[in-house]
Each structure stands twice: as structure tokens, then as C-alpha cells.
Amino acid sequence: METALTITELLTLDAHSLQKRLEARTLTSVELVDSCLAQIESHDRNGVQLRAITAIAPLDKLRERAQQLDNDRASGHVKSSLHGIPILVKDCIATSPRYGLKTSVGSLALKDSFPRKTSKVVDKV
């Protein structure tokens, strides 16, 4: 998977710098998602196998959402200062049911718990 950012850029650029690149159209949300996924694959799943990421939404849904955010930006609709920037959400915060991610809070008792709606904090982003 080819990435739009160097590893150094991905690990050091802050949200403001990434947003500037998105605004200048030198980077797309789809490219940013792919860069993040490549980094996770490289270190979390392979390499040293950190296993810090417990679940990843289906790739097609992630890319579809990123494309939608790119389209929104192109038509002048930017929702927030984090528009189009991927964020990592702990498994104690409910995400959209369409992503099929469990909200276990790290508890074995809740290992098969799926949220019915998205948490307000995620909706704000």
C-alpha cells in the first residue's frame, strides 16, 4: 500500500498541519486513512506486533467515509477542525453501529457488546 505521507510526517504532523494539507489539496482524507492503516499494519499487526489496536472498522467503510469527507470538503462543507482526519477511539466509547465495532470497555463480560448509537463525543468530531 503506497502512502501519501512519509512515516516521519505521519508521526510528527499535528492536526492543524494535516488540516492545512487537506485544505491545500496536497493530501486527501482517503490518502491519510491509507497512511494510518499502513502504519498500524506495519507495527501493530506485523513487525513488533504491538497489538495496541483491538479492532479496525471494515476498510471499505473507512475509505467510503473518507471519500465522503473529501467530497464534502470539495463542495465547501467542512464540519470541524478535525474534518477528514482519522482518530483512534478507545473501545469504551460507542461508535456508529454501521462499523460493527464492539464497545467492551476492556471487560470480558462485555466482549460481545455492540452500541446502538454513536456517542456524543464521536458525533462532535
> What is the spatial distance between Cα 88 and Cα 75, in angstroms, rounded to a whole number?
26
Residue 108 and residue 80 share a domain: no
Query: Is 1 a residue whose pLDDT tops 60?
Result: no
Band of pLDDT at residue 3, cut at 50, 70 and 90: low
> What is the spatial distance between Cα 46 and Cα 43, in angstroms, rounded to a whole number?
5
Residue 25 and residue 39 share a domain: yes
Range with the largest mean pLDDT of 45-54, 70-79, 102-111: 70-79
Residue 103 and residue 55 share a domain: no
DSSP state of 44: I
Residue 98 and residue 78 share a domain: no
Residue 107 and residue 50 share a domain: no
Query: Is 2 a residue whose pLDDT tops 70?
Result: no
Instruction: Say how many domains are in the chain.
Output: 2
Residue numbers of the domain that contains 39: 1-85
pTM for the predicted model, two decimal places: 0.84
Q: Is 124 exposed, middle or buried (CB count within 10 Å of its CB: 0-12, 13-18, 19+)?
A: exposed
Cβ atoms of 74 and 83 within 8 Å: the answer is no
Q: Is 16 exposed, middle or buried (CB count within 10 Å of its CB: 0-12, 13-18, 19+)?
A: exposed
Residue 64 and residue 28 share a domain: yes
Cβ atoms of 79 and 72 within 8 Å: the answer is yes
Tens of pLDDT, residues 5-53: 898 999 999 999 999 999 999 999 999 999 999 999 998 888 888 888 8
Residue 5 and residue 33 share a domain: yes
Q: Write the single-letter amino acid at 104.
A: S
